[in-house]
Chains A and B, each alone.
Chain A
Amino acid sequence: MVELVVETTTTWTKRGRGVKPVAFDYYRPQGIAEAVALLSDKGDEAAILAGGMTLGPMLNLRVVRPRAVIDISRIAALKTISVRANVVVTGAGVTQSDALNSDIIVREVPLLAMALPWVGHFQTRNRGTLGGSVAHADPSAEIPLALVASGGTIVLQSRRGQRRVAAREFFVGALVTQRQPDEILTALEWPRSPPDTGHAFTEIAQRHGDFAIAAAACGVRLGKEDQVEELLLAIGGVEDRPVAIDVNGFLGRPAAKMAVDLSEHAAAIVNPLEDHSASADYRIALTKVLVERAVNAAVGLAWQRRNRLQ
């Protein structure tokens, strides 16, 4: 007798079709402690999955082939934004769009709010996280650049405890950071920006939302005589990591005449990458243009804000 085989709706997947990533052990911890314990056991055999805007494509293309995936996207404790005495703490799992829509971020960390519209697209920001972008450390990524420019800190958690690493030391090279294989990036700390600070974020990419060929982030605060009281400047996409530019020589100078000098100073310091999207010379040229634009815009905003607050 011939047995009648009923094709159910699940047949398609039972044949092992319809999957793109390699087979992996899947873990979905509910809390940070469980996630840390899992990662301590698995180390670099595990990949941490948050928003999946970077790991997803890499899994689908099998560029990464993890033995285990630890999905931290349901850990509520990683999704908070809180204000402390000197810093705003963003949980690693805060999505880019939640940060962009946060009054706290707009008020206290305006540079991040200015950088976020450049990160991917509306649809990817709805899921992509702040921590994911920093942990991945793409040289052209905007969130790491904003963090370096702001002088922020990365919080890492492992079984050995918690440690904080300054953003300016965290990024080692393209996709390489100080994070050890057993550490989870749990939060970012952003220094609170004084209300009379002006910021600007400028970028050149082939199309808006593409990877930056070069980007500049600037923050400035002016004194009574319009001299530079405080100055932050960092460049992204040009070297293999976001770089903070040493601006000590510019403190106390008249802000109005600073932009061109500062842009030449930055262009002389950076050691640009060369790749399919741009030559080293072009990146130097962009550095000059972007720094000049960012500094002018930030100074203009700082001037407005200081006058409004007086």
Chain B
Amino acid sequence: MTTLYRAAHERVSIELTLNGQRRSGEAEPRMLLCDFLRHELQAFGVHVGCEHGVCGACTILVDGRAVRSCTQYVAQADGVDIVTVEGLAEPDTLNEVQRAFAKHHALQCGFCTPGILCSVTHFLRDTPKPDEQQVRDMLSGHICRCTGYASIVTAILEAAAVLSQKS
């Protein structure tokens, strides 16, 4: 067994899958994963808010799980499978959740939206037929200052109904 070691200020090379494509880059191990995704891999859909795990704007899918990307570091992401908002639907199309968000005005400024869409993807996989309380509980991990959440809840419940009818 080997221990990966990088002295302070030394950089580490990593390879990962980003939205289905093999990507690589290098940075200091201490760089936040969200900054790496934006500035090294140009995944600008990853929004950076509070940078300490509270606001939810930077939420992405790592190996299928909705997690904060601001409290993970570059060296930890070697070999993982990442999906950001850019990878949730084919380019220039909307998935069912995104369509419901547009229909119900579930976003205004849109800063929190990419994180919420990533969370919803994981959430609906685990909980295909959620009730309102479950949706609100999941949403408690995201801060939205525009909508008051009601329209987001409506959109998620509608998308869940559409998706579970399809499957």
Contact = CB atoms under 8 A, between A and B. Distances in A.
> Which residue, of A12, A30, A38, A124, has the highest number of chain B Cβ atoms within 10 A?
A124
Contacts of B86: none
B4 interface: yes
Contacts of A19: 28, 30-32, 35
Interface string B1-13: 1111111110010
* Consensus secondary structure, chain A interface: loop
B42 A26 contact: no
Nearest to B59: A123
Interface stretch (B94-102, B105-113, B133-141, B147-155): B133-141
Contact of A124 (B8, B68, B75): B68
A123 to B, nearest CB: 4
Contact of B67 (A20, A57, A126): A126
Given A12-B39, A29-B3, A56-B53, A23 B119 contact: no
A31 interface: yes
A270 interface: no
A24 B4 contact: no
Interface string A195-215: 000000000000111000000
B114 interface: no
A207 B142 CA distance: 13
Interface residues of B, number: 48
B32 A24 contact: no
B51 A20 contact: yes
A18 B51 contact: no
Given A13-B27, A26-B6, A127 B40 contact: no
Interface in B20-47: 25-32, 35-36, 39-42
B66 A123 contact: yes
B17 interface: no
B41 to A, nearest CB: 8
Contacts of A281: none
A61 B32 CA distance: 12
B4 A26 contact: yes
A21 B71 contact: no
B83 interface: no
B87 to A, nearest CB: 18
A70 to B, nearest CB: 9
B19 interface: no
A53 interface: yes
Interface in A41-99: 49, 52-53, 56-57, 59-61, 67, 69, 71, 73, 97
Given A25-B5, A26-B6, A9 B31 contact: no
A23 B9 CA distance: 6
A23 B53 contact: no
B156 interface: no
A63 B53 CA distance: 15
A23 B137 CA distance: 36
A303 B119 CA distance: 38
A30 B67 contact: no
Given A9-B42, A18-B39, A123-B59, A26 B75 contact: yes
A26 B30 contact: yes
Contact of A52 (B4, B29, B71): B71
Contact of B3 (A10, A18, A28, A127): A28
A30 B5 CA distance: 11
B71 A57 contact: yes
A101 B76 CA distance: 24
B85 interface: no
Interface string B53-95: 1101001000001111011110110000000000000000000
Contacts of B140: 121-122, 207-209
Contact of A53 (B1, B7, B29, B71): B71
User: Which A-B residue pairs are the 3 nearest by beta carbons?
Assistant: A56-B71, A121-B141, A57-B52
8 contacts: A13-B39, A21-B30, A56-B71, A57-B52, A121-B140, A123-B142, A126-B122, A208-B137
